[in-house]
Amino acid sequence: MKKLTGLIKFFLIGFFLFLNILVSAQLPGATDPIDISLLRDSQLIINQCRIYIDTGGSARPGNILNEAWQPLSNFNTSKYIPNTWITTPIYLTFILENSSDTAAKVFFIASTYTRNIYIYKILPNQPPEQLKNESRKDGYQPVELNGKEKQAYIVKFNFTKRVFNFLQPQLIKAGYLKKYQHLKYFKDDAQPTIGYLLSGILLMMIFFTWANYLQSKRKEFLYNCCYSICMFGLIFLNTFLERKSGIFSSLFHEYLDFMLLSTGTVFYIAFTRKFLETKANYPLLNRIFINEEKLVIALLVCFSFVVFFTDNFQLQKTLENGMKLIMLVIGIIYIVIALAQKNKLMNFLAIGNAILIFFSLISFFMILFQMKITSIFTNSMIYYEVGIVSELIFFLLGLTYKNRIELIEKIKEQESLKREAEKQSYESKLAVLNAQQKERNRISADMHDDLGAGVTAIRLYSELAKKRIGKEVIPEIEKISSSANELLNNMNAIIWTMTSSNDSLDNMVAYIRSYSLEYFENTGIKCRIDIEEEMPKIAVSGEIRRNIYLVVKEALNNILKHSRATEVCITLKKETDGLSLYIQDNGTGIDFENLRRFGNGLINMKKRMEETKILFTIENKNGTLITLHRKLQP
């Protein structure tokens, strides 16, 4: 039994050796097998493999073993791949083995930027068997071997259509893959940080311009927002997909970056046209910009056709360079026109374009001399991204400046309209006031001419009747004469208050002076009037004059009837905050506990002064002191 078991083991070992010989014999030249079980937490650069460049594009996995293969060591993989390889299918072949007893899994990657990877098992006397393609997402294709298994493989892949790529096939241990990807992505720690920082700045610009557009509905904010969105997409995706393979990464590097740049350029031109109002202010420049927009759109259409329907990478590069040349020309046009026009708004665009051109030239020369990326200072894309963000910052400053200027002009216009409206309102009020004054004058003239004459006649007839009667006193006639006399005085006061020519402080003072002296004439009370010489020249409306007159009249009447005074002094004095009118007598004073003698007089006096916003006070001070105080505007 033991002999039988030994024979079986010997037979199986011999069978597997025979299969390995067959497999090795089918490879185009012997290659040393790579033992993936020896890989620890690390990656292995595959140098011991062979390569075939399918320049004709006619090779297939089934007949590829008959082609002229070359050792990979014949090529310098430390240099960028030739442009002719970019659109050419590349084949690699190598042997993997797993010397351990357990299954082992590795990930294969051919280059930093690849579109797809297809791996085929080489089987004896059978067509190659394709492994499931799992590289489309990130460019990493898994390969798994059972314990003690040895297998030959053919790899077919295409590079991403972009310059500056390397051929560096590697195997990465499955457990080390995430760490490897992290280290690869953050090879230069500052590069992703700067890229995301610039993206964040652009994102804030997008929010700012969009908020301004929603508020003002001005198209220049919308165009600037769209341009910022395109540049944000360009910088963010370039940072996010840096050193990554897969379908989306290839799509971005082959097409989306150019599409975002072209679309952004269209919005960039549209923003400039609206910002400078070129249609109205610069017709020639406006026509140039319109033609540039059409040219950019035409380039984008041609580029799309070349990328998706041809493999002409040289034409693709020419169109990309044409796009960059157009942007350079636009920037130079801005700078030249700004220098010629000396327009402050143009200066913002000119400075922004000058900065972009400066950083773009640095980026261009780095690309021209194929400088290797060893730090952020040798990364051509970083310079270009900094130029874009700097340009947009100056564009935003220009927008803010223009918005501020227009806001100031709008405020001035609104203030002008407001002043005009106020002027019209004032003129309307003045017209109404003049009409009222005219009507007051008419009424006062009619009262003077008609009612005054009638009352005067009544008074005259009553006096004549008294003379004819003789010494006999008839109370009714006395009352008629007294009432007519009082009515005539009241009517004169009303006429005085209604006449617009009397609307002044001087006239009011003169009238009160005249009335007071006449009132105390032949009463035994001495009346003294003290008025400061320099009184302000102010207007006093008829309503105020009438209320003050009635208060003074009531005060003088109370002095005459109740005060037992022998002297009264009326003083008009200018105070620091207004005018004060004092009515002082030397009588017995006022009894605040017994105000029946005043009846409603005191209440009416306070009420009239409150209506005209005049402070009214009454107090005992060597007699009775009444104070009227009116504050004046400074």
Q: Inform me whether the pLDDT recorded for 253 exceeds 50.
A: yes
Give the contacts of 538 (CB within 8 A, at least 6 positions apart): 504, 505, 632
> Tokens standing for 17?
């050796």
Residue with tokens 């306070």: 606
Q: Is 77 helix (H, G, I), strand (E, B) or coil?
A: coil
Confidence class of residue 251 from pLDDT cuts 50, 70 and 90? very high
pLDDT confidence band for 8 (50 / 70 / 90): very low
pLDDT at 126: 85
Tell me the pTM.
0.62
Question: How far is CA 492 from each of CA 72, 189, 463, 558, rounded to the nearest angstrom?
Answer: 126, 100, 20, 21
Instruction: Please give the DSSP secondary-structure letter assigned to residue 82.
Output: P
Q: Please tell me the CATH code under which domain 2-185 is placed.
A: 2.60.40.2380
Q: Please name every residue paired with 249 in a beta bridge, in sequence order, or none if there are none.
A: none
Highest mean pLDDT: which range of 16-20, 313-317, 371-375, 473-477: 313-317
**Average pLDDT of span 301-316:** 90
Q: Tell whether the model's pLDDT for residue 305 goes beyond 80.
A: yes
Which has more pLDDT, 1 or 157? Answer: 157
Q: Is 399 exposed, middle or buried (0-12, 13-18, 19+ CB in 10 A)?
A: buried
Q: Residue 581 has which token pair?
A: 């009118």
624-631, strands of its sheet edge to edge = 526-531, 567-574, 578-585, 624-631, 615-620
- The structure tokens 């002095």 sit at 559
Q: What does the buried/exposed string (b/e) look like for 286-311 if buried means 16 or more CB atoms within 10 Å of the residue's CB?
A: bebbeebbeebeebbeebeebbeeee
Q: Quick one: pLDDT band at residue 450, thresholds 50, 70, 90?
A: low
**What is the pLDDT at residue 10?**
45
pLDDT at 598: 46
Percent of the chain with pLDDT over 90: 18
Separation CA 578–CA 498 (nearest Å): 25
CATH code for the part of the protein at 190-419: 1.20.1070
pLDDT reading at 128 higher than 50: yes
End-to-end Cα distance, the chain: 129
Identical fold, 190-419 and 504-634: no
pLDDT in the model for residue 157 = 92
CATH 3.30.565.10 is the classification of domain 504-634: yes
Token pair, residue 591, equals 């009894």
**pLDDT tens sequence across 58-112:** 888 878 888 889 998 888 887 888 888 888 999 999 999 999 999 999 999 998 8
Tell me the C-alpha distance between 279 and 270, whole Å: 11
pLDDT of residue 424: 85
Mean pLDDT, rounded, for 230-240:
91
Higher pLDDT: 363 or 371? It is 363
Closest CA relative to residue 97, chosen from 161, 42, 24, 178: 24
Query: Cα-flanking dihedrals φ and ψ of residue 149, to 5°?
Result: -95, 145
437 vs 613, more confident: 613
Where in the chain are the domains? 2-185, 190-419, 504-634
DSSP state string for 433-454: HHHHHHHHHHHHHHIIIIIHHH
Query: Do 181 and 134 contact (CB within 8 A), yes or no?
Result: no
Confidence grade of residue 229 (pLDDT, cut at 50, 70, 90): very high
**Residue 263 clears pLDDT 90, i.e. is over it:** yes
For residue 60, what are the contacts with CB-CB under 8 A and spacing of at least 6?
none
Confidence (pLDDT) at 66: 83
168-221 per-position pLDDT tens digit:
898 998 888 888 888 887 775 577 888 888 899 999 989 988 998 898 888 888
Provide DSSP, 523-573: SS-EEEEEE-S--------HHHHHHHHHHHHHHHHHIIIII--SEEEEEEE
Is the model's pLDDT at 318 over the cut of 50?
yes
